[in-house]
Amino acid sequence: MNKLKTFSFKYQKIATAGIALMAVISSSILLASPTRAATLGQNLIVNGDAEQGRGDPIGNAVGTDIPFIPGWIPTNSFSVLQYGATGFKFTNPLGNIVAVSGLPDINSSGPSVRGKNLFFGGANRSSSSASQLIDIANLTSIIDAGQGAYDLSAWLGGYNTDLDNVKLSLNFLNQDGQSLNTAFITSPTPEERNNTTGLLFQSTKGFVPVGARQINVALDMNYVRGRVNDGYADNLSLVITKVPEPSISGLLLVSSSCLMVCKLRRNRQHLL
């Protein structure tokens, strides 16, 4: 009987610990994917400048040593790096000591207002990513009228001649989570960066597809070769604005112009 009570007590402790763990995981997911109303004319990407949370001052953080990144759900070694990180040394599979140095700093090309941190592919030699989901359901009337224009921009880059690259993409989803359309920007090639370490401004514009209710933002750091994943990104921005409907006077002007063109064509035919 005592054994049964002991087992029951231990089971209750395990169950309680399990519930607590699930609560922590759920809280982390909620923090990484906050739900908030979208505001026209403002950046909708949470922590798009990597300034929330702590940046790695060395560049060697992996696993549980990677700082928590508010607003983002990361994979693999995706991390946040401090500008001017010191770098580090490691022994490669061939037994050679490799130095990781020359990471982006205040003198590297990049945004004039760059803060302390930037997004970093990570200290492991593998691809990584991070994503977040943006709720735009409160903009339904504007979007479904075809008046929702978006502007996606970021500073993206890499290290010297390394081919590691970055892709920032949008996936517009309907209320059922189905993809309606996508858009993306990519980092410049090493040649476009003059084979130097740094970030360049990239952007694209378009219209939010009718029926879109959410936008999945994904930042992919694609590893090709080299010491670490040298994909860099900073100052990510996604802004939605309302494009005004054509005015009545504008429509009349277009109509009159069309009539004028038709009349001129008829006159030319008569002259011929």
Please report the pLDDT score of residue 10 as a whole number: 46
Q: What gap in Å lies between CA 186 and CA 127, rounded to an integer?
A: 15
Q: What gap in Å lies between CA 82 and CA 90, rounded to an integer?
A: 20
Tell me which CATH homologous superfamily contains domain 40-245.
Galactose-binding domain-like (2.60.120.260)
Q: What gap in Å lies between CA 212 and CA 145, rounded to an integer?
A: 11
Please report the pLDDT score of residue 37 as a whole number: 77
Please report the pLDDT score of residue 246 as a whole number: 56
Q: Domain segments of the chain: what residues?
A: 40-245
Q: How many alpha carbons fall within 13 Å on the CB side of residue 153?
A: 11
Residue among 217, 216, 208 at smallest CA distance from 40? 208
For residue 251 the two structure tokens come to 């429509």
Number of C-beta neighbours around residue 227 at 10 A: 19
Query: E strands, 102-178, where?
Result: 117-122, 128-135, 148-158, 165-173
The angle formed by the CA atoms of residues 35, 39 and 43, to the nearest 5 degrees, is 85
The pLDDT profile of the chain, 272 residues, written as one tens digit per residue, is 444 444 444 444 444 444 343 443 333 444 444 456 799 999 999 999 999 999 999 999 999 999 999 999 999 999 999 999 999 998 888 888 989 999 999 999 999 999 999 999 999 999 999 999 999 999 999 999 999 999 999 999 999 999 999 999 999 999 999 999 999 999 999 999 999 999 999 999 999 999 999 999 999 999 999 899 999 999 999 999 999 875 444 444 444 444 554 554 555 555 45
Please report the pLDDT score of residue 35 as a whole number: 52
Q: What is the pTM of this model?
A: 0.78
Please classify residue 204 by burial: count the beta carbons closer than 10 Å to its beta carbon, then call 0-12 exposed, 13-18 middle and 19+ buried.
Answer: middle
